[in-house]
Amino acid sequence: CLSLSFTNTNTHTHTHTHTHTHTHTHTHKQRHLCKQNLLSGVLQSGTTYIFGRDGGLITYTWPPNDRPSTRADRLALGFSTHLKEALLVRVNSSSGLGDYLKLHIVKGYIAAIFNVGTDDINIEEKAKFVNDGKYHIVKFTRSGGNATLQVDDLPVIVRYPTGNIDSECRVVDDWLLDKGRQLTIFNSQMTIQIGGWERDHSRTFQGQMSGFYYNGLKVFNMAVEGDPNIRIGGSVRLVGEVQSSSITPQSSATVSHSETSTSIMEITTTTTSNHKIKPTTASAPQSSEGLASSLLRCSGSRLELT
């Protein structure tokens, strides 16, 4: 992990007693500070798109022979908007299957809906309006019929299927007895549409969106790199990427994959907002990582960031 000049500080301890005191403090908290610095760097650099008033779409299409079927999904993004009603993203299955996942703004609140072969399952956060023009971070996970949703640093919301919730695993098992395990799979995912949906132009997104992540796909970064599976149409403009001054390319490259995987799923932004988002740490009792892991253990699957 990046040492943040701790070594250089130690070399001056012979003449600077005050500096030596701070060196001990940093040493005890080095791991924590490194993770904070990594997160800060990630939040300050990234790829951002502006979606205009006329509406626009960024569409990723999986190749016909490479369409995934998943038991668990992970979605994360950052955005700012003034709209009370808007569709942020919709993931669709192949034609005729009907499985889907969408993240949208309803009456100024964030909500997610998904259907993997049963009924629509809805999860929403009504503790905070997100149409205030400020930058917000949203994280969503799904494991079978279970889901979690977190907006900024609010407590994680957990959604279970209808049933007797006397334990995390039992409610899943009871629900699956009648539904069948195959109905926990998001089958043959075909497209990710960001900023709206091609079949409904009434709720297109307007504003900034950045750091889009879905199951290992950093779609905005891929779009900048000219990925042939991505199509951009309508009123969509690239803001660009700003390299963070706190982390050099060399130092950020030395961070292990496991550490980058747990840092808010690498959500990024280039906005200059003064609103600081506190990440939910892995040790917090309401952390999205812990809850997601618990849900995944129940369904016998595992979420991985690649």
Same domain, 154 and 169: yes
- Residue 198's H or E segment, with its range, is none
Q: Are residues 23 and 110 in the same domain?
A: no
Same domain, 73 and 129: yes
Q: Please tell me whether residues 101 and 232 are part of one structural domain.
A: yes
Cross-strand partners of 214: 75, 217
Asked whether residue 31 is domain-assigned, the answer is yes
The amino acid sitting at 139 is K
Residue 63 resides in a domain: yes
Considering its fold, how many domains does the chain have in total? 2
Based on the domain organization, do 58 and 31 belong to the same domain? Answer: no
Question: Does residue 24 sit in the same domain as residue 91?
Answer: no
Tell me how far CA of residue 179 lies from CA of 163, 175, 262, 266, in angstroms: 12, 6, 33, 35
Contact partners, residue 137, CB within 8 Å, separation at least 6: 76, 77, 78, 151, 152, 264, 267, 277
**Is residue 306 a part of any domain in this protein?**
no
Question: Residue 174's pLDDT band (boundaries 50, 70, 90)?
Answer: low
* pLDDT confidence bin for 160, thresholds 50/70/90: confident
Q: Does 263 reside within a domain?
A: yes
Q: Which of 92, 140, 147, 89 minimizes the C-alpha distance to 121? A: 147
Q: Are residues 34 and 84 in the same domain?
A: no
Give a yes or no: residue 139 inside a domain.
yes
pLDDT at 95: 82
Residue 231 pLDDT level (bands cut at 50, 70, 90): very high
Same domain, 14 and 70: no
Within 10 Å of residue 282's Cβ, how many Cβ atoms?
12
Residue pLDDT, tens place only, 175-184: 544 544 457 8
Read off the pLDDT band of 125 (50, 70, 90).
very high
Tell me which residue range forms the domain holding 28. 6-41
Q: Is residue 251 part of a domain?
A: yes
Same domain, 31 and 126: no
With cut-offs at 50, 70 and 90, classify the pLDDT of residue 96.
Answer: confident
Burial (CB count within 10 angstroms: exposed 0-12, middle 13-18, buried 19+), residue 58: buried
Classify residue 305: in a domain, yes or no.
no
Element (H, E) at 186: none
Cα–Cα dist 222/245, whole Å: 23
Do residues 160 and 222 both lie within one domain?
yes
Please give the Cα distance from 23 to 212 (Å, whole number). Answer: 38
Q: Shortest CA distance to 101 belongs to which of 110, 89, 118? A: 89
For residue 304, tell me if it sits in a domain. Answer: no
**Same domain assignment for residues 22 and 57:** no
- End-to-end CA distance of the chain: give it in Å, rounded: 20
The CATH number of the domain holding residue 188 is 2.60.120.200
Report d(CA 126, CA 75) in Å as an integer.
19
Q: What is the pTM assigned to this prediction?
A: 0.63
Q: What are phi and psi of 25, to 5 degrees?
A: -60, -45
> Which among 98, 292, 102, 293 has a CA at the least distance from the CA of 185?
98
> In whole angstroms, what is the distance from residue 254 CA to residue 8 CA?
19
Residues 214 and 75 sit within 8 Å (Cβ to Cβ): yes
pLDDT, average across residues 285-306: 43
pLDDT given for residue 208 in this prediction? 96
From CA 236, how far away is CA 48, in angstroms rounded?
A: 10
E-assigned strands of 14-120? 48-61, 72-80, 86-93, 100-106, 109-115
Residues 285 and 202 in one domain: yes
